[in-house]
């Protein structure tokens, strides 16, 4: 394989201005990448040919290629991207709210979308319920590879650069395990002359690296944090998330209390509900006690089964009972509607399906 080229999406606007002279050319290129979603230098019509040829010797624009996508009846679209080195990662386009239309057929409020992005190829955490863990860890994504997922999804869905969108770092990988590149991607997204996605529209989900929760907090990036808790005692959490041995529940709770949070907002705690594991009212009672003193919101998530998993999806009845207990005891709670349940919904499932089909073709 030839040497991999760095993507211009790896650069902040300031860095690009230092790289490309004169500076107005850097501004034009920046606009092409983030406003026009240019995929390569050829698309940049007002950039001199000699400059494009020179840049193309060292750099590329888009480091990703869409190799597969699946669309759900609810509007969810799951994407599988191939990186320059042939590795693959997933991203998801989620419709959160439909557009509002008046009696004349005029749109009075645009539909609202969220993009779920990956931060690593594979994952080191090894959660027992997660399909991504099956393939182990390969490498971190660069800042540009993280940014490119959003640019590609916005382009593929004709979503204008200045339309609001939310980003959740909840795809493949543990975001805080790739903190440096994550932080740079967050800053690139925030830049006013780019996509202008503020920190308050970006949520970092972590399985609970308590020391790095502190590091992220000290960076003061203005992002929200979501904690993948999934259990109320260390024994079950260690079964589900082996890393809990090094970062137990208490250490996570203490780190969350130190995290700088907008006083108008709540800390999100993700709670994956698994039948006969953590869906009983005894667990709900412990959860209320555990989060006492934290301005918290609990997002109850149905476990999405995949082939080979020992875990099962909980019943709707048990989910509602669990939620009602939390609410009745002063803890704000929502049940996340399963998105893309009719496609490869579980994280890592589309990647795994694609690889299985490739292996079948090779064997035949």
Q: Is residue 47 part of a domain?
A: yes
pLDDT in the model for residue 92? 97
Q: Is residue 1 part of a domain?
A: no
Of the pLDDT bands very low, low, confident and very high (cuts 50, 70, 90), residue 13 is very high
Q: Is residue 35 part of a domain?
A: yes
Residues 262 and 314 in one domain: yes
- Listed in sequence order, the residues at least 6 apart from 25 whose beta carbon sits closer than 8 Å to its beta carbon are 47, 48, 51
CB 52 within 8 A of CB 8: no
- What tens digit of pLDDT does each residue of 52-106 get? 999 999 999 999 999 999 999 888 999 999 999 999 999 999 999 988 888 888 8
pTM summary value: 0.90
Known active-site residue 347:
yes
Q: Is residue 310 part of a domain?
A: yes
Tell me: is residue 178 an annotated ligand-binding position: no
Containing structural domain, residue 23: 6-60
As a whole number of angstroms, the distance between CA 12 and CA 9 comes to: 8
Q: Which two tokens stand for residue 294?
A: 């934290």
Domain total in the chain: 2
Residues 183 and 46 in one domain: no
- What tens digit of pLDDT does each residue of 319-334 get? 999 999 999 999 999 9
Assign residue 39 the CATH number of its domain.
Answer: 1.10.150.530
Among 273, 347, 271, 267, residue whose Cα is nearest residue 306: 347
As a whole number of angstroms, the distance between CA 140 and CA 143 comes to: 9
Assign residue 235 the CATH number of its domain.
Answer: 3.20.20.70
Residues 56 and 76 in one domain: no
Residues 139 and 221 in one domain: yes
Known active-site residue 70:
no
Tell me: is residue 236 an annotated ligand-binding position: no
Tell me: is residue 35 an annotated ligand-binding position: no
Given the residues 145, 270, 347, 352, select the one marked as catalytic: 347
Whether residue 363 has pLDDT greater than 90:
no
Residues 178 and 140 in one domain: yes
pLDDT in the model for residue 356? 47
Residues 51 and 73 in one domain: no
Residues 229 and 276 in one domain: yes
Residues 122 and 135 in one domain: yes
Whether residue 298 has pLDDT greater than 70:
yes
Q: Is residue 19 part of a domain?
A: yes
């Amino acid at each position: 394989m030839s040497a991999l080229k760095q993507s211009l999406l790896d650069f902040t606007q300031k860095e690009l201005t230092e790289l490309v002279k004169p500076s107005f050319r850097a501004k034009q290129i920046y606009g092409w990448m983030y406003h026009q979603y240019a995929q390569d230098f050829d698309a940049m019509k007002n950039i001199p040919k000699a400059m494009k040829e020179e840049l193309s010797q060292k750099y590329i624009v888009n480091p990703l290629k869409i190799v597969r996508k699946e669309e759900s009846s609810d509007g969810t679209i799951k994407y599988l991207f191939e990186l320059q080195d042939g590795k693959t990662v997933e991203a998801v386009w989620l419709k959160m709210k439909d557009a509002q239309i008046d009696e004349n057929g005029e749109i009075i409020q645009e539909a609202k979308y969220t993009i779920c992005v990956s931060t690593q190829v594979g994952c080191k955490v090894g959660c027992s319920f997660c399909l991504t863990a099956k393939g182990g860890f390969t490498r971190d994504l660069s800042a540009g590879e993280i940014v490119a997922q959003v640019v590609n999804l916005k382009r593929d869905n004709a979503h204008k650069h200045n339309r609001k969108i939310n980003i959740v770092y909840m795809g493949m990988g543990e975001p805080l395990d790739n903190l440096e590149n994550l932080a740079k991607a967050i800053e690139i997204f925030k830049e006013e002359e780019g996509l202008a996605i503020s920190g308050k529209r970006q949520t970092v989900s972590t399985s609970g690296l308590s020391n790095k929760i502190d590091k992220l907090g000290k960076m003061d990036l203005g992002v929200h944090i979501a904690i993948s808790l999934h259990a109320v005692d260390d024994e079950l959490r260690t079964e589900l998330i082996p890393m809990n041995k090094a970062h137990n529940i208490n250490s996570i709770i203490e780190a969350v209390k130190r995290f700088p949070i907008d006083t108008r907002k709540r800390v999100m705690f993700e709670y994956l509900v698994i039948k006969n594991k953590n869906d009983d009212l005894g667990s709900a009672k412990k959860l209320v006690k555990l989060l006492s003193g934290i301005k918290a919101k609990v997002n109850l998530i149905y476990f999405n089964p995949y082939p080979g998993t020992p875990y099962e999806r909980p019943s709707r009845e048990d989910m509602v009972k669990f939620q009602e207990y939390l609410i009745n005891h002063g803890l704000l709670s929502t049940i996340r509607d399963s998105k893309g349940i009719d496609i490869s919904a579980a994280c890592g499932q589309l990647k795994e399906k694609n690889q299985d089909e490739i292996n079948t073709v090779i064997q035949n």
